[in-house]
């Protein structure tokens, strides 16, 4: 199996573990710094936390969050866990969210409910706050992970994409 996106991210983060990956200010005004090593660990713990939440390779995960390091961590962890990842736009409406969640067949929505509380409870999709996911990930033992293969829904091999220009 060729390396996936999450494998490439983790390999880059592990090359220089002491370097600074992110500097940011939290919602409470506290300044934070994450090293490459800490970021890789957060990605692996978050990917394992998805399993604790019952998500399996091939399931869909959506994220409603502004541009911050946690969003990067969730995206990379979803890829590492073999989940289908969908980002919801921070400036969209609740109606747009419902459409995207329905069309993407997302099984779970991770939402920064400190910023998007009004959009945190979508119809028909399990939701978890970013803070709760962080708590679960912090309580999850660190296990070096490799990218999970998505589960197959068919016993026949996948058809090749058709090139419309051929």
Report whether 103 contacts 90 (CB < 8 A). no
Q: What is the pLDDT of residues 33-58, one digit of tens each?
A: 999 999 999 999 999 999 999 999 99
**Helical ranges in 16-145 per DSSP H:** 36-52, 69-80, 94-104, 130-138
Domains and CATH numbers, the chain: 5-24+34-138 (3.40.50.980)
Query: Which residues are paired to 87 by β-bridges?
Result: 63
Task: Enter the pTM of the model.
Answer: 0.82
In angstroms, rounded to a whole number, what is the distance separating the alpha carbons of residues 81 and 6?
9
Q: Give percent above pLDDT 90 in the chain.
A: 67
Q: How many degrees, rounded to 5, is the angle at CA 41 between CA 39 and CA 45? A: 120
Burial class of residue 87 (count of CB atoms within 10 Å of its CB; 0-12, 13-18, 19+):
middle
In angstroms, rounded to a whole number, what is the distance separating the alpha carbons of residues 114 and 22?
20
Q: What is the pLDDT of residues 9-25, one digit of tens each?
A: 999 999 999 999 999 99
């Amino acid at each position: 199996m060729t390396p996936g996106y999450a494998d490439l991210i983790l390999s880059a983060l592990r090359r220089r573990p002491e370097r600074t990956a992110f500097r940011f200010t939290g919602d409470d005004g506290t300044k934070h710094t994450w090293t490459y090593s800490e970021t890789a660990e957060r990605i692996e713990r978050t990917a394992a936390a998805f399993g604790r939440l019952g998500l399996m390779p091939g399931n869909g995960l959506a994220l409603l969050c502004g541009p911050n390091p946690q969003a990067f961590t969730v995206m990379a962890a979803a890829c590492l866990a073999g989940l289908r990842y969908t980002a919801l736009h921070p400036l969209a409406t609740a109606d747009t969210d419902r459409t995207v969640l329905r069309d993407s067949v997302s099984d779970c929505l991770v939402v920064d409910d400190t910023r998007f509380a009004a959009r945190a409870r979508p119809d028909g999709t399990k939701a978890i706050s970013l803070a709760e996911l962080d708590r679960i990930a912090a309580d999850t033992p660190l296990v070096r992970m490799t990218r999970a293969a998505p589960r197959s829904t068919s016993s026949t091999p996948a058809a090749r994409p058709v090139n419309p220009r051929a």
